[in-house]
Structure formats: structure tokens, C-alpha cells
């Protein structure tokens, strides 16, 4: 699937931040594409390898908060452990009104000589943050604080 069908950067939404919409036919695919969109703002993923794997397990009562927490975890790992991720494998489940996420992220430590770094994302914001389901397709709108 090309980037065009996974997500698009919304240039007209925010002037001091960057916004994107991510798409998926399932919540798992939506979360994967949201992670890839977040990473694409920070680095050219083609310059990354998949040497390091990181497991993430999160739970939340609200699907929007789960996505918010997950994307902020990606930013935290970039800042705390200098990790950027090229590939993501995510499973999102709902059980009894609660949501869980199990993810395996693959990437490597930041190497300024190897990686084509772009913009440093500081955090995910709640401004305009939402997940919508229309028919059989999910859309997430996310604003990144840069």
C-alpha cells in the first residue's frame, strides 16, 4: 500500500504544527498507518533499518486515548532512547468496552550521518484529535507539536 492510501499530511490545518489524517480498514491498520505517518514527519523511513525491536503494550477505555498514548510513546522512545521505527506490527482489540494494543516496532537508533532526519516532533496534541468510522473505514486526525 502506498503512502497516498495510508495517510496524508494536512498542510492547511496548522501553521506552527503538522497535521495528518491516517486511514485503515481496521483499528490495527489505522494505528499502524498513524505510527508510519508520525515517523514520516521525523525521518525518511527508507534510510532506517529494522535492527532493534520494541514491544509496546497499552490499555485504555477510550480508543482515541489509546491512539494518543501510543503515538506519544513513539515520541518518548525517540527522545529517551534515540529510536526511530521503520516498521510496525500492531494488534488492537476491544473486549468488554476496553481497548488493548500489542505492538512490535522495528527500527534503529538515530544516526545523523545515515538517516535523513526531517522535523523533530515534540508531542501529539489533543487539538482536532479524533478517530472516525465511516462505513468500513477508519480515519484518524492528528496534530503533531513540532
Q: What is the CATH number of the domain that holds 27?
A: 3.55.10.10
Q: Is the distance from CB of 101 to CB of 75 less than 8 angstroms?
A: no
Rounded mean pLDDT, 80-108: 96
Residue 4 predicted with pLDDT over 80: no
Residue 34 predicted with pLDDT over 80: yes
Task: Report the C-alpha gap between 79 and 97 in whole angstroms.
Answer: 32
Tell me how many domains the chain contains. Answer: 1
* pLDDT band with cut points at 50, 70 and 90 for residue 14: low
* pLDDT band with cut points at 50, 70 and 90 for residue 8: confident
Which range of residues forms the domain containing residue 133? 3-145
Rounded mean pLDDT, 122-126: 94
Q: How many residues does the chain have?
A: 146
Amino acid at each position: 500500500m502506498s503512502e497516498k492510501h495510508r495517510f496524508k499530511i494536512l498542510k492547511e490545518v496548522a501553521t506552527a504544527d503538522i497535521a495528518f489524517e491516517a486511514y485503515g480498514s481496521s483499528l490495527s491498520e489505522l494505528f499502524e498507518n498513524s505510527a508510519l505517518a508520525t515517523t514520516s514527519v521525523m525521518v525518511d523511513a527508507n534510510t532506517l533499518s529494522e535492527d532493534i525491536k520494541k514491544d509496546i503494550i497499552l490499555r485504555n477505555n477510550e480508543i482515541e486515548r489509546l491512539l494518543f498514548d501510543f503515538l506519544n510513546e513513539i515520541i518518548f522512545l525517540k527522545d529517551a532512547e534515540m529510536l526511530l521505527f521503520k516498521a510496525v506490527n500492531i494488534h488492537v482489540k476491544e473486549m468488554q468496552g476496553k481497548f488493548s494494543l500489542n505492538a512490535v516496532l522495528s527500527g534503529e537508533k538515530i544516526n545523523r550521518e545515515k538517516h535523513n532526519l526531517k522535523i523533530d516532533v515534540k508531542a501529539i496534541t489533543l487539538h482536532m484529535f479524533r478517530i472516525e468510522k465511516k462505513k468500513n473505514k477508519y480515519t484518524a486526525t492528528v496534530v503533531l507539536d513540532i
